[in-house]
Structure 1
Amino acid sequence: MLKKIERGQQFVWQHTELFRCPICFATMTKQSHGLACQNGHQFDVSKKGTLYFLTHAIESGYDASLFQARGRMIQSGMYQPIIQRCAEALPGTRLLDVGCGEGSFLNLLTEHGQPQVSIGFDIAKEGIYQATNQPYGDFWCMADLTNLPFASQTFDRVLNIFSPSNYQEFRRILVPGGKVMKIVPNANYLKELRQAFYPDNLHKQQYSNERVLSKFFQEFPDATHERFSYVFKIPAKRQRDLLEMSPLEWGVPSVKKEELYQHPLETITVDVDLLIGTKPM
């Protein structure tokens, strides 16, 4: 069995055409430890089998425990209807997961949809390191959303789940007719958790995605829009993970957290919009 570093090296050597230098934007070529551009900028594959494309440090605020809890909740089936719908549009494609975190969404989508090539990236090394343990997903790297280290017109699908967008870069890397598949929270998403964490703060209990939707349809006027809204019964062994899987817990008093640890939620509302926009031919 190949080591992670060997798998990573083999992937980038076989797919050099997917990458471009994030420093000077030149094409990449194979070199002994990873990739390099004609201007001498070199990117070595790490022992974890990843590439580090960030040109400066970026703090995500997400730690390893959050990614672990998030991954366990995704694996528990919390988003299964959404994953099945997304997988329908993936077979035979080159897929890029923007803000992939620990890779659980891409892992399940790759398992179901079987794209030809799947790459996930994030700014958080804790997430990427965990992603390298996923059974599916071809390659993982650390990169900046505003300066993607990928060549123009190389991907068929961009997956954008609960993460920021850069539509200029998305259009650049997509082939004509390629699609952006974006999932955003809706008004009732995790409403029970928001109410439990902030019972006296109506502002934090409420959420609107109107600005996000407006921006997406501005970029892709012919986009499709589907809503998924259902109540998920949380497996008993995952009830604590729900409390730790998102930034919603940041700022919650320790007394309130302990109260919820002792009396965890048993159900949670999943309420999201799936937006699919197409780059013109």
Structure 2
Amino acid sequence: MPILLRCPVCFEALSPEQKSAVCKNNHQFDRARQGYLNLLPSNKKRSKNPGDDQMMVEARTRFLNHGYYQPVIDALIDKIQSFSPEAPQSILDAGCGEGYYTSAIQEKLEDSEVCGFDIAKPAILAASKRNKAIEWLVASVSDLPLMDEQFDVIISIFSRSDWPEFSRVLKPGGHIVILTPGQNHLMALRLAIYDEVRPYPEDKRLQDLPEHLYLLESQTIDHMMMLENSQAIMDLLAMTPHYWHINARQKEQLERLDQLECELEMRLSVVQKRYTETQ
């Protein structure tokens, strides 16, 4: 079943029409030449160019394409497959970035319908070049341009979660897979930058779930990476919030490194939507 889109202006269903999508109130959204749809109206943006910029997208693409985060892909796919070992699923990647994880999931679960969205237009442009079989959208997590209760799985990787919106588009019994940093995630990178490093705090979002969502399970993904050149180290930096906080001296000392052994530690948590009493 194709992904069902919702007009971001009037919330009516969007229907495909040649190279665009249009609702019954004649709000029309044209597909970009690369195939994606921009469903983030300018009046709903908090800034002119929200999200990652072109430099950060290119750094992320270079780094991830080297396979440093392959254990994360493997864990994600194993978990998604465990929800429905036989039947295909409809999957939404919320805050998909340049589509590395989304594409890998679609290629492995090729019978599933997959949609990825991000608020950053440069990221979706890169994603649409990576994989043509996915419905790519420029959209905001707080106002999803998607019809209700159509997804079996939502994944959210180091992205903001909007529980009401996730619940709205998720089928009853569906799963939300969330990846957050473990306490020691990228510790070696942080030690190379800062004089004092604190462990990442525990994610509070999972402690404040609405009543119809509950934490089903959690596991840790732990892997040691060897970054073998300065480019990989600086690309990893550009993927993190630390990029915006380091000063010139800290950046310079990081650039002098020609290799770095760095721990990848992520927490994979699964949240499930409760069935209603009538179901």
* 1:86-117 deviation per Cα after TM superposition (whole angstroms, max 9, x unaligned): 11224711111101111111112222333521
Q: Show the counterpart of 1:227.
A: 220
Q: What are structure 2's unaligned runs of at least 5 residues? A: 82-86
The aligned runs of 1:14-29 (5 Å cut-off) are 15=2, 18-29=4-15
Asked if residue 45 in structure 1 is aligned to residue 31 in structure 2, the reply is yes
Give 1:257 shift. 1.1
Asked if residue 190 in structure 1 is aligned to residue 186 in structure 2, the reply is yes
Q: Which has a greater percent of helix?
A: 1
Q: Show the counterpart of 1:256.
A: 250
Give 1:72 shift. 2.3
Q: Which residue identity is paired with 2:189?
A: L
Q: Show the counterpart of 1:75.
A: 65
Aligned length: 264
Instruction: Determine helix, strand or coil for the equivalent of 1:144.
Output: coil
Q: Show the counterpart of 2:84.
A: none
215-224 or 129-138: bigger deviation: 215-224
Asked if residue 239 in structure 1 is aligned to residue 239 in structure 2, the reply is no
**In 2, are the aligned partners of 1:107 and 1:136 still within 8 Å (CA)?**
no
Q: How big is the alpha-carbon RMSD for the aligned residues of Structure 1 and Structure 2?
A: 2.2
Give 1:264 shift. 4.2
Q: Show the counterpart of 2:102.
A: 106
The aligned runs of 1:1-281 (5 Å cut-off) are 15=2, 18-55=4-41, 56-59=44-47, 60-88=50-78, 89-90=80-81, 92-135=88-131, 137-199=133-195, 201-202=196-197, 205-216=198-209, 220-236=213-229, 238-281=232-275
* Distance in 2 of aligned mates of 1:61 and 1:198: 25
Q: 1:115 to 1:172 in 2, by over 3 A?
A: farther
Instruction: Determine helix, strand or coil for the equivalent of 1:22.
Output: coil
Q: Which residue identity is paired with 1:129?
A: L
Instruction: Determine helix, strand or coil for the equivalent of 2:6.
Output: coil
Percent identical pairs in the alignment equals: 30
92-101 or 214-223: bigger deviation: 214-223
Q: Which residue identity is paired with 1:248?
A: H
Please give the TM-score of this superposition, normalised by the length of structure 1: 0.86
Instruction: Determine helix, strand or coil for the equivalent of 1:147.
Output: coil
**In 1, are the aligned partners of 2:214 and 2:273 still within 8 Å (CA)?**
no
Instruction: Determine helix, strand or coil for the equivalent of 1:223.
Output: strand
